[in-house]
Amino acid sequence: MLDYKLLEALAAVVDCGGFEKAGEVLDISQSAVSQRIRTLEIRLGQPVLVRSPMPRATPAGQRLLNHVQQVRLLERDLGSAIPSLSEPAARLRIAVNADSLATWWAGRVGRFCARENLLLDLVIEDQDIGLRRMREGDVAACLCSSPQPVSGGRCVPLGVMTYLPLATPDYIHHHFPGGLTDARLERAPAIIFGPNDQLQHRFLAQVGYHGKFPHHLCPSSEGFVKLALAGMGYGMIPEIQARSDITAGRLASIAPGHQLDVPLYWHFWRHGGEMMERLTAELRQP
Amino acid sequence: MLDYKLLEALAAVVDCGGFEKAGEVLDISQSAVSQRIRTLEIRLGQPVLVRSPMPRATPAGQRLLNHVQQVRLLERDLGSAIPSLSEPAARLRIAVNADSLATWWAGRVGRFCARENLLLDLVIEDQDIGLRRMREGDVAACLCSSPQPVSGGRCVPLGVMTYLPLATPDYIHHHFPGGLTDARLERAPAIIFGPNDQLQHRFLAQVGYHGKFPHHLCPSSEGFVKLALAGMGYGMIPEIQARSDITAGRLASIAPGHQLDVPLYWHFWRHGGEMMERLTAELRQP
């Protein structure tokens, strides 16, 4: 069998972003960590880590990390069959889209995590990066809007998230006094999540506008809502996130009747073990 | 003088993360963008971009980007003196810590941005990365907890953010029925923002605990609060962010009387132009 001490050292260096912290986590010295990585590389005949600026896995190292994470998931199942084997708590690393994490995610999985003694390492990624990290073995599951399963993975639908084009009533009164027009959309500042965020463009196409528009960039789900509440722009906000602000009259739609429904899919490894199956079943409950 | 068409192409490629998108933004073809970058590199006698996997600036390229951003800030000032020169809106790229963005930031700068027709490109970074991006010319200002100005920059204090160790009353009742003890802290799941988040460790040191503790990782300010509200763990949450949840009895301190005050500093370029001076003055208002 493989020497899992060496693989564990590799996983710790990549997880912790450095040799020193990996040593702390593994309770060994930094030089012992380095020695394990070197031994692994000598056995493999190729590097598993790029050292700088931050340690990250080479393609060979990534295949090893994928393997380590799968073995860990299988160990969890063993741990529930033979409790004396199990560590204090299981860990799962999952990529989640920012808006889900800012809204419904914790409410749906919180009870499950407490019951199963499961700890989560959450990473926020858009879908392309999230799925790439899953292929690379860096995360065990990914919640995103792509329906395309990765090789070795499965994918189940989890419903849709509805987005509304919202701004403060003052903002709407100032920028769109007579409703949306091309001339006004060309000047009214919008808020978008990042350069890859296409929601705003899709909404504008829906109302028949295809030109440029000024915009703030704000890659934070909660920050996004705060910018809208401060009257800095209009933006596509999940309806569940804005509900209380809409009810209280702090936010309103700039185009009543228009919305975008973004589907959500749960991607997970086909052989991810029983804990993953149970988490998936929990998420699929209506 | 330098050929700013070439520098603008460099900035667009780095901002947009690719040649094709840079072409769209500049309204020229992708090959015209490549040609400008090549011309710039021939004139300089060295590369300004590393091409893969994502285009990013070489050290020489970063010095040019820094220069471009400073020139743009000075052009803003010219624009307010000679309005016919000014573009529709100014842009500033700023690194902000996640908790400020999730709480007070927009409320403090929203009115200013609307008045000055200023658009923000916000990036979320912890202080080390934020200050490095400022040194590299990628952002014009950085809000973080480091009091150490970068070379060429100034730094002013903006007060403190108070963090409390919060969880749901149910969680506290279940995990800390008789208050905090080492045995219970060793088993009770915490929530931390990321591997570099030291707030949790500092709080535990304050109550005299120096051992390990199980934890969820959640690099989202809003997601962090949601995890706490779902009873998944306790964590250090900004008092201003949790105030309504505390008042409503949904969150409570696991160690009443204990808090951490984290100072905030505003870093900006010394010669950042009048817009930056005015934004700084706005932020310094009590």
pLDDT, tens digit, for every residue of A125-172? 877 788 888 887 778 899 999 999 988 889 999 999 999 999 999 999
What is residue A82's predicted lDDT score, i.e. its pLDDT?
A: 61
**Chains A & B: contacts with CB separation below 8 Å:** 139
Q: What is d(CA A215, CA A200) in angstroms, rounded to the nearest whole number?
A: 10
Q: How far off is chain A from B230, nearest CA to CA, in Å?
A: 5
The interface residues of chain B toward chain A in range 23-62, judged by CB-CB distance below 8 A, are none
Cβ–Cβ gap B220/A101 under 8 Å = yes
For the stretch B71-99, pLDDT in tens is 777 776 665 666 554 455 678 889 999 99
What is residue A85's predicted lDDT score, i.e. its pLDDT?
A: 47
Q: How far off is chain A from B119, nearest CA to CA, in Å?
A: 5
Q: How far off is chain A from B237, nearest CA to CA, in Å?
A: 14
Q: Do the beta carbons of residue B43 and residue B32 sit within 8 Å?
A: no
Average confidence (pLDDT) over A67-75: 74
* Least trusted range by pLDDT, from A72-81, A267-276, B57-66: A72-81
Q: Do the beta carbons of residue A167 and residue A249 sit within 8 Å?
A: no
Q: Do the beta carbons of residue A99 and residue A126 sit within 8 Å?
A: no
What is residue B235's predicted lDDT score, i.e. its pLDDT?
A: 96
Q: What DSSP designation does A77 have?
A: H
Q: How far off is chain B from A4, nearest CA to CA, in Å?
A: 22
pLDDT surpasses 70 at A67: yes
Closest CA to A213 of A179, A182, A186: A186
B227 contact residues in A (CB cutoff 8 A): 106, 110
Cβ–Cβ gap B106/A230 under 8 Å = yes
A192 - beta bridge partners? A217
More confidently predicted of B246 and A196: B246
Distances A178 to A92, A151, A185, A255 between C-alpha atoms, Å: 51, 51, 12, 11
What is residue A177's predicted lDDT score, i.e. its pLDDT?
A: 93
What is residue B36's predicted lDDT score, i.e. its pLDDT?
A: 92
First to last CA, chain B: 42
Does B221 contact A at CB distance below 8 Å? yes
Cβ–Cβ gap A216/B101 under 8 Å = no
What is residue A42's predicted lDDT score, i.e. its pLDDT?
A: 85
Residues making up chain A, counted from first to last: 286
For the stretch B187-230, pLDDT in tens is 899 999 987 788 999 999 999 999 889 999 998 999 999 999 99
**Which of B116, B120, B197 would you mutate first to test chain A, the one with the most A CBs within 10 A?**
B120
What is residue B83's predicted lDDT score, i.e. its pLDDT?
A: 55
Amino acid type, B106 = A
User: How far is Cα of residue B85 from the mean position of the Cα atoms in its chain?
Assistant: 31
Q: What is d(CA B213, CA B55) in angstroms, rounded to the nearest whole number?
A: 40
Q: Say which of B105, B111, B214 has its CB closest to residue A223.
A: B105
Which two structure tokens, joined as six digits, stand for B207?
A: 């109550």
Which two structure tokens, joined as six digits, stand for B215?
A: 């934890």
What is residue A83's predicted lDDT score, i.e. its pLDDT?
A: 55
Average confidence (pLDDT) over A107-120: 90
Q: Do the beta carbons of residue A250 and residue A172 sit within 8 Å?
A: no
For the stretch B251-271, pLDDT in tens is 999 999 999 999 999 999 887
pLDDT surpasses 70 at A38: yes
For the stretch A228-280, pLDDT in tens is 999 999 999 999 999 999 999 999 999 999 999 999 999 998 877 788 889 99
Nearest residue of B to residue A231, measured between CA atoms:
B110
3-state helix, strand, coil in chain A (%, to 5): 50, 20, 30
Residue-averaged pLDDT of chain A: 88
Cβ–Cβ gap A231/B111 under 8 Å = yes
Helix extents (H) in chain B: 4-16, 19-26, 30-44, 59-81, 98-102, 105-116, 127-135, 169-175, 182-185, 199-206, 221-229, 239-247, 274-284
What is residue A51's predicted lDDT score, i.e. its pLDDT?
A: 84
Q: What is d(CA A7, CA A234) in angstroms, rounded to the nearest whole number?
A: 48
Nearest residue of A to residue B100, measured between CA atoms:
A223
Residue ranges and CATH numbers for the domains of chain A are 1-57 (1.10.10.10), 161-260 (3.40.190.10)
Residue B104 pLDDT grade (very low, low, confident, very high; cuts 50, 70, 90) = very high
What is residue B2's predicted lDDT score, i.e. its pLDDT?
A: 72
Angle formed by the axes of helices B221-229 and A221-229, nearest 10°: 110
Cβ–Cβ gap A110/B231 under 8 Å = yes
Which two structure tokens, joined as six digits, stand for A121?
A: 């390492």
Q: How far off is chain A from B43, nearest CA to CA, in Å?
A: 28
B106 contact residues in A (CB cutoff 8 A): 223, 226-227, 229-230, 232
For the stretch A198-224, pLDDT in tens is 899 999 999 999 988 999 999 899 999
More confidently predicted of B110 and B82: B110
What is residue B85's predicted lDDT score, i.e. its pLDDT?
A: 47
Q: What DSSP designation does A1 have?
A: -
Q: Do the beta carbons of residue B130 and residue B233 sit within 8 Å?
A: no
List of residues 6+ apart from A200 with CB closer than 8 A: A190, A192, A213, A215, A235, A236
Closest CA to A125 of A55, A224, A196: A196
Q: Do the beta carbons of residue A117 and residue A76 sit within 8 Å?
A: no
Does B74 contact A at CB distance below 8 Å? no
Nearest residue of A to residue B99, measured between CA atoms:
A223
For the stretch A19-36, pLDDT in tens is 998 898 888 899 999 999
What is residue B67's predicted lDDT score, i.e. its pLDDT?
A: 76
Distances A255 to A180, A198, A212, A259 between C-alpha atoms, Å: 7, 18, 18, 9
